[in-house]
Protein backbone atom coordinates (compact mmCIF):
# COMPACT_ATOMS: atom_id res chain seq x y z
CA UNK A 1 0.00 0.00 0.00
CA UNK A 2 1.40 3.35 -1.04
CA UNK A 3 2.36 5.82 1.69
CA UNK A 4 1.93 8.83 -0.60
CA UNK A 5 -0.79 9.83 -3.05
CA UNK A 6 -0.56 12.05 -6.09
CA UNK A 7 -2.56 15.28 -6.12
CA UNK A 8 -5.05 13.62 -8.47
CA UNK A 9 -5.53 10.64 -6.16
CA UNK A 10 -5.90 12.87 -3.09
CA UNK A 11 -8.40 15.06 -4.97
CA UNK A 12 -10.49 12.01 -5.91
CA UNK A 13 -10.59 10.82 -2.28
CA UNK A 14 -11.42 14.22 -0.80
CA UNK A 15 -13.86 15.26 -3.52
CA UNK A 16 -12.01 18.47 -4.36
CA UNK A 17 -9.94 19.72 -7.30
CA UNK A 18 -6.25 19.05 -7.80
CA UNK A 19 -5.53 22.78 -7.54
CA UNK A 20 -7.23 22.86 -4.14
CA UNK A 21 -5.14 19.89 -3.00
CA UNK A 22 -1.99 21.72 -4.10
CA UNK A 23 -3.09 24.88 -2.31
CA UNK A 24 -3.89 23.02 0.91
CA UNK A 25 -0.50 21.32 0.69
CA UNK A 26 1.25 24.68 0.37
CA UNK A 27 -0.80 25.98 3.32
CA UNK A 28 0.21 23.03 5.48
CA UNK A 29 -3.30 21.58 5.76
CA UNK A 30 -2.18 18.52 3.83
CA UNK A 31 1.27 17.09 4.46
CA UNK A 32 3.67 15.12 2.32
CA UNK A 33 6.70 15.77 0.16
CA UNK A 34 7.75 17.45 -3.06
CA UNK A 35 9.74 15.98 -5.90
CA UNK A 36 12.87 18.18 -5.92
CA UNK A 37 13.17 17.98 -9.70
CA UNK A 38 9.61 18.06 -11.05
CA UNK A 39 8.04 19.94 -8.13
CA UNK A 40 5.21 17.38 -8.01
CA UNK A 41 3.44 17.31 -4.64
CA UNK A 42 2.92 13.91 -3.02
CA UNK A 43 0.32 13.82 -0.25
CA UNK A 44 0.77 11.44 2.67
CA UNK A 45 -1.96 8.85 3.18
CA UNK A 46 -2.15 9.70 6.89
CA UNK A 47 -2.71 13.37 6.06
CA UNK A 48 -5.64 12.56 3.77
CA UNK A 49 -7.11 10.20 6.37
CA UNK A 50 -6.86 12.91 9.03
CA UNK A 51 -8.73 15.44 6.88
CA UNK A 52 -11.46 12.88 6.21
CA UNK A 53 -11.88 12.24 9.92
CA UNK A 54 -11.76 15.92 10.91
CA UNK A 55 -14.58 16.79 8.49
CA UNK A 56 -16.52 13.58 9.13
CA UNK A 57 -16.31 12.63 5.46
CA UNK A 58 -16.90 9.08 4.24
CA UNK A 59 -13.57 7.30 3.85
CA UNK A 60 -13.26 5.31 0.61
CA UNK A 61 -10.91 2.39 0.22
CA UNK A 62 -7.62 4.24 0.05
CA UNK A 63 -5.91 1.27 -1.52
CA UNK A 64 -7.88 1.56 -4.77
CA UNK A 65 -6.99 4.32 -7.21
CA UNK A 66 -7.06 5.17 -10.84
CA UNK A 67 -4.76 3.90 -13.52
CA UNK A 68 -1.77 6.14 -14.19
CA UNK A 69 -0.50 6.85 -17.69
CA UNK A 70 2.77 8.68 -18.37
CA UNK A 71 3.54 10.10 -21.79
CA UNK A 72 7.03 11.33 -22.69
CA UNK A 73 6.91 13.12 -26.02
CA UNK A 74 7.77 16.42 -27.68
CA UNK A 75 4.99 15.93 -30.21
CA UNK A 76 2.26 18.39 -29.19
CA UNK A 77 -0.20 16.87 -31.66
CA UNK A 78 0.16 13.41 -30.10
CA UNK A 79 -0.23 14.76 -26.57
CA UNK A 80 -3.36 16.58 -27.70
CA UNK A 81 -4.72 13.35 -29.23
CA UNK A 82 -4.15 11.50 -25.93
CA UNK A 83 -6.03 14.22 -24.04
CA UNK A 84 -8.89 14.11 -26.54
CA UNK A 85 -9.02 10.31 -26.45
CA UNK A 86 -9.17 10.09 -22.65
CA UNK A 87 -11.44 13.09 -22.13
CA UNK A 88 -14.34 12.12 -19.91
CA UNK A 89 -12.81 8.77 -18.95
CA UNK A 90 -12.75 8.44 -15.15
CA UNK A 91 -10.13 6.36 -13.41
CA UNK A 92 -7.20 7.43 -15.59
CA UNK A 93 -4.60 9.96 -14.42
CA UNK A 94 -2.15 11.18 -17.05
CA UNK A 95 1.24 12.84 -16.69
CA UNK A 96 3.00 14.46 -19.64
CA UNK A 97 6.75 14.97 -20.09
CA UNK A 98 8.83 16.55 -22.84
CA UNK A 99 12.13 15.09 -21.66
CA UNK A 100 13.09 11.49 -21.00
CA UNK A 101 15.15 12.35 -17.91
CA UNK A 102 12.11 13.96 -16.27
CA UNK A 103 10.00 10.90 -17.04
CA UNK A 104 12.70 8.58 -15.69
CA UNK A 105 12.88 10.44 -12.37
CA UNK A 106 9.09 10.57 -12.09
CA UNK A 107 8.58 6.87 -12.78
CA UNK A 108 11.33 5.94 -10.32
CA UNK A 109 9.42 7.67 -7.51
CA UNK A 110 5.79 7.18 -8.53
CA UNK A 111 3.96 4.03 -9.51
CA UNK A 112 3.03 4.19 -13.20
CA UNK A 113 0.87 1.64 -14.99
CA UNK A 114 1.82 2.57 -18.56
CA UNK A 115 4.68 4.63 -19.97
CA UNK A 116 4.58 5.71 -23.62
CA UNK A 117 7.99 6.75 -24.97
CA UNK A 118 7.90 8.76 -28.20
CA UNK A 119 10.94 8.71 -30.47
CA UNK A 120 10.58 12.50 -30.74
CA UNK A 121 12.43 13.07 -27.44
CA UNK A 122 15.95 14.42 -27.87
CA UNK A 123 17.64 14.64 -24.47
CA UNK A 124 18.14 10.87 -24.28
CA UNK A 125 17.78 7.96 -26.65
CA UNK A 126 14.23 6.54 -26.33
CA UNK A 127 15.67 3.03 -26.64
CA UNK A 128 18.08 3.69 -23.76
CA UNK A 129 15.24 5.13 -21.66
CA UNK A 130 13.26 1.94 -22.18
CA UNK A 131 16.27 -0.25 -21.35
CA UNK A 132 16.93 1.76 -18.19
CA UNK A 133 13.40 1.12 -16.92
CA UNK A 134 13.56 -2.55 -17.88
CA UNK A 135 16.67 -2.91 -15.69
CA UNK A 136 14.81 -1.81 -12.56
CA UNK A 137 14.73 -4.46 -9.88
CA UNK A 138 13.75 -2.60 -6.70
CA UNK A 139 10.48 -1.04 -7.91
CA UNK A 140 7.61 -2.29 -10.11
CA UNK A 141 8.10 -1.66 -13.81
CA UNK A 142 5.33 0.04 -15.79
CA UNK A 143 4.08 -1.40 -19.03
CA UNK A 144 6.14 0.14 -21.83
CA UNK A 145 5.11 1.25 -25.30
CA UNK A 146 7.52 2.69 -27.84
CA UNK A 147 5.87 5.22 -30.16
CA UNK A 148 7.77 4.99 -33.43
CA UNK A 149 7.35 7.49 -36.26
CA UNK A 150 9.05 5.28 -38.82
CA UNK A 151 11.75 7.78 -39.68
CA UNK A 152 14.58 5.90 -37.98
CA UNK A 153 15.27 2.19 -37.52
CA UNK A 154 14.29 0.59 -34.22
CA UNK A 155 17.17 -0.74 -32.11
CA UNK A 156 17.36 -4.52 -32.01
CA UNK A 157 17.22 -4.38 -28.21
CA UNK A 158 13.63 -3.07 -28.27
CA UNK A 159 10.96 -5.75 -28.11
CA UNK A 160 8.85 -5.37 -31.25
CA UNK A 161 5.71 -6.26 -29.29
CA UNK A 162 5.83 -2.94 -27.42
CA UNK A 163 6.12 -0.81 -30.58
CA UNK A 164 3.21 1.41 -31.63
CA UNK A 165 3.39 2.96 -35.10
CA UNK A 166 2.47 6.62 -34.77
CA UNK A 167 1.26 6.93 -38.36
CA UNK A 168 -1.21 4.09 -37.77
CA UNK A 169 -2.88 5.70 -34.76
CA UNK A 170 -5.99 7.84 -34.75
CA UNK A 171 -8.32 8.63 -31.85
CA UNK A 172 -10.26 5.38 -32.31
CA UNK A 173 -7.27 3.02 -32.54
CA UNK A 174 -5.42 4.93 -29.80
CA UNK A 175 -8.41 4.64 -27.48
CA UNK A 176 -8.63 0.90 -28.11
CA UNK A 177 -4.90 0.47 -27.49
CA UNK A 178 -4.92 2.55 -24.30
CA UNK A 179 -7.95 0.85 -22.80
CA UNK A 180 -6.66 -2.63 -23.57
CA UNK A 181 -3.16 -1.91 -22.26
CA UNK A 182 -4.40 -0.21 -19.09
CA UNK A 183 -6.99 -2.92 -18.54
CA UNK A 184 -10.05 -0.66 -18.35
CA UNK A 185 -13.43 -0.89 -20.03
CA UNK A 186 -14.51 1.58 -22.69
CA UNK A 187 -17.90 1.59 -20.99
CA UNK A 188 -16.28 3.79 -18.33
CA UNK A 189 -16.17 6.66 -20.80
CA UNK A 190 -18.36 9.61 -19.88
CA UNK A 191 -19.60 9.72 -23.47
CA UNK A 192 -20.82 6.15 -23.09
CA UNK A 193 -22.68 6.99 -19.88
CA UNK A 194 -25.05 9.73 -20.96
CA UNK A 195 -26.07 12.09 -18.23
CA UNK A 196 -23.70 10.71 -15.61
CA UNK A 197 -21.74 13.96 -15.64
CA UNK A 198 -24.78 15.62 -14.03
CA UNK A 199 -25.14 13.07 -11.25
CA UNK A 200 -24.11 13.98 -7.73
CA UNK A 201 -20.93 12.20 -6.73
CA UNK A 202 -20.59 13.58 -3.18
CA UNK A 203 -23.17 12.96 -0.42
CA UNK A 204 -25.14 15.75 1.24
CA UNK A 205 -25.30 16.23 5.00
CA UNK A 206 -28.29 17.68 6.80
CA UNK A 207 -27.34 20.80 8.75
CA UNK A 208 -29.14 23.90 10.02
CA UNK A 209 -26.82 26.90 10.01
CA UNK A 210 -28.21 30.40 10.62
CA UNK A 211 -26.65 33.08 8.45
CA UNK A 212 -26.88 36.84 7.98
CA UNK A 213 -26.94 38.58 4.66
CA UNK A 214 -27.44 41.98 3.08
CA UNK A 215 -29.89 42.67 0.26
CA UNK A 216 -29.39 45.45 -2.28
CA UNK A 217 -30.64 46.54 -5.67
CA UNK A 218 -28.23 46.37 -8.59
CA UNK A 219 -29.11 49.96 -9.44
CA UNK A 220 -28.24 51.10 -5.90
CA UNK A 221 -25.63 48.71 -4.47
CA UNK A 222 -24.79 51.02 -1.57
CA UNK A 223 -28.35 50.91 -0.18
CA UNK A 224 -28.54 47.63 1.71
CA UNK A 225 -31.12 46.02 3.99
CA UNK A 226 -30.36 43.28 6.54
CA UNK A 227 -31.73 39.83 5.96
CA UNK A 228 -31.55 36.31 7.36
CA UNK A 229 -31.01 32.93 5.79
CA UNK A 230 -30.54 29.32 6.79
CA UNK A 231 -28.22 26.76 5.19
CA UNK A 232 -30.24 23.52 5.20
CA UNK A 233 -27.66 21.05 3.83
CA UNK A 234 -24.15 20.96 2.38
CA UNK A 235 -22.32 18.81 -0.15
CA UNK A 236 -19.28 16.89 1.05
CA UNK A 237 -17.64 17.66 -2.28
CA UNK A 238 -17.41 21.33 -1.37
CA UNK A 239 -16.02 20.93 2.14
pLDDT tens profile 60-108:
655 545 688 999 999 999 999 999 888 777 678 889 999 999 999 888 8
Number of structural domains found in the chain: 3
- Whether 12 and 74 map to the same domain: the answer is no
- Whether 117 and 155 map to the same domain: the answer is yes
Q: Which domain holds residue 78?
A: 67-191
- Whether 99 and 120 map to the same domain: the answer is yes
With cut-offs at 50, 70 and 90, classify the pLDDT of residue 195. very low
With cut-offs at 50, 70 and 90, classify the pLDDT of residue 117. very high
| pTM exceeding the 0.95 threshold for the entire prediction | no
Q: What is the CATH number of the domain that holds 47?
A: 1.10.1660.10
Residue 158 has pLDDT above 80, yes or no: yes
In a domain, 37, yes or no: yes
Residue 213 has pLDDT above 80, yes or no: no
In a domain, 60, yes or no: no
CB 110 within 8 A of CB 118: no
- Whether 71 and 182 map to the same domain: the answer is yes
Return the pLDDT at 190: 46
Distance from CA of residue 151 to its chain's centroid? 32
In a domain, 61, yes or no: no
Amino acid sequence: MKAFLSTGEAAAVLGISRSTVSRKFDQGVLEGKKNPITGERMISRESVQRVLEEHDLPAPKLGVFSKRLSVVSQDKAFKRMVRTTLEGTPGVETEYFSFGTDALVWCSQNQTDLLIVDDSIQDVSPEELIRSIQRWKEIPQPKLRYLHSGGTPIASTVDKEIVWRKDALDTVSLARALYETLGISRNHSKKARKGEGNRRTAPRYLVHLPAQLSVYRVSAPKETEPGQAVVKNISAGGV
